[in-house]
Amino acid sequence: MTMQPATGQKKRILVVDDERHIVRLVQVNLERQGYEVITAYDGVECLEKAKSEKPDLIVLDVMMPRMDGFEALQRLKTDPETSHIPVIMLTARAQDRDVLQGYQYGADLYLTKPFSPLELISLVKRVFESQEEETGTYRL
């Protein structure tokens, strides 16, 4: 059973990871929840798709080729076109300094690998619920 987001329009999520099996795992689980998923495999592609696809949320890995997730996050958050998009970091980088760096660069949430798909879905829902509360589109 899939649950549609409260807005009636599918929320679009950009999933960025260089490990294709992780992208697929996240994609399948999010699509089962009724979300539309866009994929990218490195930081450069993340920035391109964030601008062209205008996602509602980005799930972003750190360790990737061409541009790592921290640099992509910094660029997303300093660009007026993409600075409003919430970002969940999903990474094996679990040291306190990595988590702190993620938050300092503008991550909304930080989830470490290995992860539970249910935990990720819970975080995604939390981000969208907090957005709805802030914009007044919250529905009981």
What's the predicted TM-score (pTM) here? Answer: 0.90
Identify the burial level of 21 via C-beta atoms within 10 angstroms of its C-beta, where 0-12 means exposed, 13-18 middle and 19 or more buried: exposed
Chain centre distance of CA 49: 12
Q: How far is CA 9 from the centre of its chain?
A: 18
| pLDDT single digits (tens) 6-43 | 445 899 999 999 999 999 999 999 999 999 999 999 99
Q: Among 29, 24, 76, which Cα is nearest to 50's?
A: 76
Tens of pLDDT, residue by residue over 51-66, are: 999 999 999 999 999 9
**Range 107-124 burial, b when 16+ CB lie within 10 A, else e:** bbbbbeeebeeeebbebb
Question: Structural domains in the chain?
Answer: 12-124 (3.40.50.2300)
* Residue 15: φ, ψ to 5°: -105, 125
3-state secondary structure of 78: helix
Residue 5 has pLDDT above 60, yes or no: no
Q: Is the pLDDT of residue 137 over 80?
A: no
pLDDT tens, residue by residue, 79-131: 999 999 999 999 999 999 999 999 999 999 999 999 999 999 999 999 999 88
